[in-house]
Structure 1
Amino acid sequence: MSSASATLAVWASAWLAGVAAPDDVLDALAPWSEAHDVLADDDGTAALTELPGPGSAPTSTAMLLAAVRRAAPRGHARVVLPAAGDVRGLPGPGRFSREATTAGEGVLFPEAGFGVVPSPIADGVVRWTVHAVPEPGPVPEYVPLNDAERELRAQVRNAAAALTDLNVARHRPGVREEIAASLRSRPRALWPDGMPPQALRVLQQADEVDAILAAAAGDEPGGALSASAAVARSDALRPIATAVRVARRAAVAEAVRVLVSVRSEHRN
């Protein structure tokens, strides 16, 4: 689904660019959890960011924004959506990269020298753990949004074919209702004014394909796949999942570019 990390990356960038207020960023995170807190991963990161570290009481996301502002007042954020075998956008080996891969998401603040990874720690509570990232790594690959959207549309067709080939619909006749229910149950992401329409469309399409993937990856009630069938299913769905991640990264990157450029035009 569109993630808390994508929300934070877009809104924090908009805030740093001066086109959103701090409260807007905090409000945008609310659909993802009733409460959010922040803690530095280690004492060194705590000293770097002036945020509480291990053994201390966590602080608020407002204090995280203040730390970003202190470190890089004209910076921006970058979403990462890594998976096993697909670590594009990560800065290289380190705690941030490992934790982001485990979580499947994270936010880098390249100019600030740190990144954050969200994880649920209790019912209704998400913790953003802050990791020092002294070297943000190479500039991430640029994927034109038109190309990402075209590939995602192709994968929509592939996803539908995968449902048929894997006999999901035959074994689970209510699978399409299941997909619709999955989409309805997801948090409704909030986005800034000025968000490019194409980026919004791609994020919505990615959510739809992701719901199809979840249905295709699940076993029918009482069913069990053979090892060979499970491998075949995994192989069929992997490129679709990759296209979803690429599309989301491209959409967020385009949104950040557009929102930051609004501020630049105002300054000029």
Structure 2
Amino acid sequence: MSPAAGAATLVARRSSRFVTWVRAWRAGLVPYDELADQIAGDEEHLVADAPGAWTDLPLRDALSCFAKLSPDEIRLALPAPGDPRGLPGPGEFTGAALLAGEAVVARGLGVIPEVRSHTSGSGVTFETVLWRVYPLPQELPRNGHGEPGAAEAEAELSTALVEATTTLTRLDIAHWRPELAGALAALRRPDAGMDLPPGFDPRARRLFARAGILDQVLALAEHAAPGGAVNGYEVQQRDAALRPLTIACRRALVAACNAPLRA
């Protein structure tokens, strides 16, 4: 896999997959034995500080700590500086979640992924994911501090996308660094996106697919050269155009992953 194509895979929100599959399991829609493989894919996932454990556990052994929770008690949060929506309030977990930009928020515990890079003796670089568990209050605010429903989030995303596209076209944003084209091509593959597990309705699936691809493109754009924006003022214009779209994209992913499940 090329570095650019690999980047397209690595920026996907791991917490979104964690939340959706664990919620589907707690709704009785998928078996426990499938969870770890569906969440981890071809990565190695471990869990640190799991309740009652004295050492890091394989993901498969740690997911049982969610066994007493209902689907609605397990939620995705995608916070950002100045926008801690979905988090329980000041504390160690909230600080770590803001730094990571993603978290699993549940009754009694929160989980945040930490990606660790390793280099083998032969020089091959690979990554492992460590899910760190934090104790949280047994009672958390419902509906994620006013997070939107899927319909509202879909409308917000569509509006933000139209407005951002108009500005970015004028700024000639297509002249991103050449290797970005490989990543975007990888994202367009039919198997590039992540699908939701059983139980999510068509609107949530559509919103998740659309926002998931945009989320990866926006993450890649943060590391791209400014293209046609050749001076500081135009760079600021590009960033200003992307900011509302980034917020709408995060809200759309949260709305899709936290949507009510049905049998």
Query: What TM-score do the two structures reach when normalised by structure 2?
Result: 0.79
Q: Sort the Cα spacing of 1:74 and 1:182 in 2 relative to 1 into closer, same or farther, 3 A.
A: closer
Alpha-carbon distance in structure 1 between the residues aligned to 2:116 and 2:46: 10
Task: From 7, 15, 18, give the equivalent of 2:28.
Answer: 18
Question: How far did residue 87 of structure 1 move?
Answer: 0.9
CA RMSD of aligned residues (A): 2.9
- 1:180-206, Cα deviation, whole Å (9 max, x unpaired): 334549964243223211111101111
Task: From 62, 66, 69, give the equivalent of 1:68.
Answer: 66
Task: From 18, 35, 41, give the equivalent of 2:44.
Answer: 35
Give the structure 2 partner of residue 266 of structure 1.
Answer: none
Give the structure 2 partner of residue 165 of structure 1.
Answer: 170
Give the structure 2 partner of residue 133 of structure 1.
Answer: 136
Give the structure 2 partner of residue 43 of structure 1.
Answer: none
Could you tell me which amino acid in structure 1 is paired with residue 84 of structure 2?
V
Q: Sort the Cα spacing of 1:251 and 1:184 in 2 relative to 1 into closer, same or farther, 3 A.
A: same
- 1:207-232, Cα deviation, whole Å (9 max, x unpaired): 333344346542157x9854433333
Could you tell me which amino acid in structure 1 is paired with residue 236 of structure 2?
V
Q: Sort the Cα spacing of 1:176 and 1:142 in 2 relative to 1 into closer, same or farther, 3 A.
A: same
Could you tell me which amino acid in structure 2 is paired with residue 116 of structure 1?
V
CA contact (8 A) 1:28 1:191 kept: no
Give the structure 1 partner of residue 3 of structure 2.
Answer: none
CA contact (8 A) 1:6 1:79 kept: yes
Matches within 5 A, 1:175-190: 179-184=184-189, 188-190=193-195
Q: Sort the Cα spacing of 1:120 and 1:228 in 2 relative to 1 into closer, same or farther, 3 A.
A: same
Could you tell me which amino acid in structure 2 is paired with residue 68 of structure 1?
F
Query: What TM-score do the two structures reach when normalised by structure 1?
Result: 0.78
In structure 2, list runs of 5 or more residues that go unmatched: 1-10, 118-125
Task: From 105, 110, 121, give the equivalent of 1:115.
Answer: 110
Alpha-carbon distance in structure 1 between the residues aligned to 2:247 and 2:113: 21
In structure 1, list runs of 5 or more residues that go unmatched: 41-45, 263-268
Q: Answer 1 or 2: which has greater helix percent.
A: 1
Provide the identity percentage. Answer: 32
Alpha-carbon distance in structure 2 between the residues aligned to 1:13 and 1:250: 14
Between the two proteins, the alignment pairs up a number of residues equal to 241
Q: Sort the Cα spacing of 1:166 and 1:26 in 2 relative to 1 into closer, same or farther, 3 A.
A: same
Task: From 225, 235, 238, give the equivalent of 1:219.
Answer: 225
